[in-house]
């Protein structure tokens, strides 16, 4: 199907559903768009019993889109750069050690906890799923999604120092989580006997450290170029070129593009660097450009997530496994945050109930679905895709709509 046609339909639906949400539902855009899209898709499914034309059109659009490639290889770099660009660098610097632990040790711990528990749950449900495939599910569901988190936290009124921890963790654990997933994926594909420990360490180090180094270089060169001129049009284009070019370089060199874009965005968005390289006009245009791009891509992404339900194989046991996975994922996240929080609690003056708020506010999103779509049939793709979708929908709708109430409940303590 023609790419322009697909893009037009997606943006048209985003505009219509966004209008309905702003006018009537008044929910955070990410949540409202996904709810309306799911209702729309269910309506199309029901209407297909009368006339299947609309359902066939929607299915053809979804089948024409490689969601995994579109999100991970294209959209994600723009979204992460935009998120990092507007993150408080000074607060992030203060909270760097707990954020580092959350996004590395926390993700690894959660991966193995979720994978282990789901292995036994699936055995009880009669699925003969190998442990390595359960670890793959643990890896794809453990990273929290900055795309889903950012907008919701601002409306929820989360205290700034806690917001920095959640957003900072989400920005970095995204890239780390993808690398962990790819590492386990490679082991599952090649077999444990064929995988050398050195190869795993090399892959992890190359992706993570190489991605951060590339991002630092991109951020520095962008800063130097922007500083040397005073033309907001070209300066905006320089930031766009850094993201697009940097993503291509990362893909060619097998480095983590998400980590590269987060690092570059943090450098370009640093208040100290901004004040020495950008005029007020340039700052305004750079911010507005990336805010608009962020809003547009977010809208399209969450419409796509809602439409992806058409590719699900909705068997009874799959749905039961998905419902059980919701508390499993939440409890495992709570446990994985316990050690980092307790190490830094007194030193950095963590707000009360940090663990609870970070657990409930750590939303899953499109990245988890994209990784699940990348599984092969032998890796129980249909099963894990349904389980992932159920966890993500619950996360965005149930957790997203109630995290504000949870924050208000503990507002006096906070």
Handedness of CA 325, 326, 328, 330 (dihedral sign): positive
Close Cβ partners of 286 (under 8 Å, ≥ 6 residues apart): 85, 232, 235, 236, 239, 278
Nearest-angstrom CA–CA distance, 388 and 68: 14
* 267 within 8 A of 246, measured Cβ to Cβ: no
Q: Dump the DSSP string for 328-388.
A: HHHHHHHHHHHHHHHHHTTTTTPPTTHHHHHHHH----HHHHHHHHTS-GGGTHHHHHHHH
Domain boundaries of the chain, sorted by first residue: 3-64, 67-409
The per-residue pLDDT string of the chain (414 residues; one tens digit each, 9 = 90 and over) reads: 789 999 999 999 999 999 999 999 998 888 899 999 999 999 999 999 999 999 999 999 999 999 999 999 999 999 999 989 988 778 788 888 889 999 999 999 999 999 999 999 999 999 999 999 999 999 999 999 876 666 666 666 677 777 788 888 888 988 899 999 988 998 888 776 666 777 778 778 889 999 999 999 999 999 999 999 999 999 999 999 999 999 999 999 999 999 999 999 999 998 888 888 999 999 999 999 999 999 999 999 999 999 999 989 989 999 999 999 999 999 999 999 998 888 887 776 677 788 998 999 889 989 999 999 999 999 999 999 999 999 999 999 999 888 888 877 876 554
What's the fold here for domain 67-409? Na+/H+ antiporter like fold (1.20.1530)
Rounded to a whole number, what is the distance in angstroms from the first to the last CA of the chain? 52
Distance CA 199, CA 182 (A): 12
Side-chain-side CA neighbours of 271 within 13 Å: the count stands at: 7
In degrees and rounded to multiples of 5, residue 87 shows phi and psi of: -90, 140
* Nearest alpha carbon to residue 169 among 400, 363, 371: 363
The answer to whether residues 149 and 363 touch, using CB atoms and an 8 Å cutoff, is yes
Give the angle subtended at the CA of 110 by the CAs of 379 and 325, to the nearest 5°.
Answer: 60
């Amino acid at each position: 199907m023609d790419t322009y046609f697909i893009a037009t339909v997606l943006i048209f639906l985003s505009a219509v559903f966004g209008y309905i949400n702003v006018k009537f539902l008044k929910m955070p855009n990410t949540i409202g768009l996904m709810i309306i899209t799911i209702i729309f898709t269910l309506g199309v499914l029901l209407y297909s019993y009368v006339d299947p034309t609309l359902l066939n059109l929607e299915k053809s659009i979804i089948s024409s889109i490689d969601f995994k490639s579109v999100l991970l290889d294209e959209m994600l770099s723009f979204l992460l750069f935009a998120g990092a660009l507007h993150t408080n660098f000074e607060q992030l610097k203060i909270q760097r050690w707990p954020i580092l632990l959350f996004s590395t040790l926390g993700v690894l711990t959660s991966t193995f906890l979720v994978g282990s528990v789901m292995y036994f749950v699936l055995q009880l449900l009669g699925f003969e799923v190998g442990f390595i495939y359960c670890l793959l599910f643990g890896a794809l569901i453990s990273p929290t999604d900055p795309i889903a988190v950012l907008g919701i936290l601002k409306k929820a009124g989360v205290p700034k120092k806690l917001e920095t921890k959640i957003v900072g963790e989400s920005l970095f654990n995204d890239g780390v989580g993808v690398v962990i997933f790819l590492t386990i994926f490679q082991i599952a594909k090649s077999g444990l006997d064929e995988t050398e420990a050195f190869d795993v360490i090399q892959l992890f180090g190359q992706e993570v450290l190489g991605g951060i180094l590339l991002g630092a270089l991109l951020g520095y060169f962008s800063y130097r170029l922007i500083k040397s001129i005073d033309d907001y049009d070209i300066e905006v284009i320089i930031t766009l070129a850094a993201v697009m070019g940097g993503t291509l370089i990362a893909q060619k060199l097998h480095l983590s593009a998400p980590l590269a874009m987060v690092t570059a965005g943090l450098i370009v968005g640093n208040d100290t660097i901004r004040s020495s390289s950008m005029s007020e006009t340039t700052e305004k245009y750079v911010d507005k450009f990336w805010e608009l791009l962020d809003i547009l891509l977010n809208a399209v992404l969450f419409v796509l997530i809602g439409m992806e339900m058409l590719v699900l194989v909705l068997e009874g046991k799959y749905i039961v496994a998905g419902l059980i996975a919701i508390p499993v994922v939440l409890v495992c996240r709570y446990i994985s945050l316990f050690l980092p929080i307790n190490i830094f609690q007194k030193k950095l003056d963590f707000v009360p109930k940090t663990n609870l708020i970070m657990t409930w506010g750590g939303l899953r999103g499109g990245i988890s679905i994209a990784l699940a779509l990348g599984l092969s049939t032998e890796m129980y793709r249909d099963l894990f895709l349904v389980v992932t979708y159920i966890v993500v929908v619950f996360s965005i709708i149930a957790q997203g709509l109630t995290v504000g109430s949870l924050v208000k409940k503990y507002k006096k303590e906070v």
